[in-house]
Amino acid sequence: MSGKKTLRRTALLLTAMAVLAVLVPTALAADAAVDADTGLPAFLSDGAGNDSLELLTFFLFFVGYISMGAAFVFFMSER
């Protein structure tokens, strides 16, 4: 009985999340000036020395990518 209840609850939560993902509108970014050479917003690569957001984004992506790969290898080796 407990397994059926858990399965039903999980299905209900997944359905609710899917409905919310479809019905809730996404936020649109305001039009920003785009650098023609890089395709990035102008404030990211304006050469004014304030490119910390660009550096932070790259670093977090890189660390996350490496972490996901390490987790995949770890879990596959434990299997």
**What is the domain extent for residue 65?**
33-78
Angle made by CA atoms 26, 54, 25, in degrees to the nearest 5: 0
Pair of tokens at residue 20: 């919310």
Question: Looking at the structure, do residues 11 and 44 belong to the same domain, yes or no?
Answer: no
Q: How many domains does the chain have?
A: 2
Q: Which helix (H) or strand (E) holds 32?
A: none
Question: Looking at the structure, do residues 46 and 18 belong to the same domain, yes or no?
Answer: no
Question: Looking at the structure, do residues 14 and 49 belong to the same domain, yes or no?
Answer: no
Question: Looking at the structure, do residues 19 and 1 belong to the same domain, yes or no?
Answer: yes
Task: Tell me the pTM.
Answer: 0.33
Question: Looking at the structure, do residues 69 and 38 belong to the same domain, yes or no?
Answer: yes
- The pLDDT value recorded for residue 6 is 87
Pair of tokens at residue 39: 């395709």
Walk along the chain (79 residues) and give the pLDDT tens digit of each residue. 577 888 899 999 999 989 888 887 666 556 667 777 877 777 666 666 667 777 788 888 888 889 999 999 988 888 7
Question: Looking at the structure, do residues 4 and 41 belong to the same domain, yes or no?
Answer: no
Question: Looking at the structure, do residues 39 and 54 belong to the same domain, yes or no?
Answer: yes
Check residue 30 and give left, alpha or beta (phi > 0: left; psi -120 to 50: alpha): beta
Quick one: the chain helix, strand, coil %, rounded to 5? 60, 5, 35
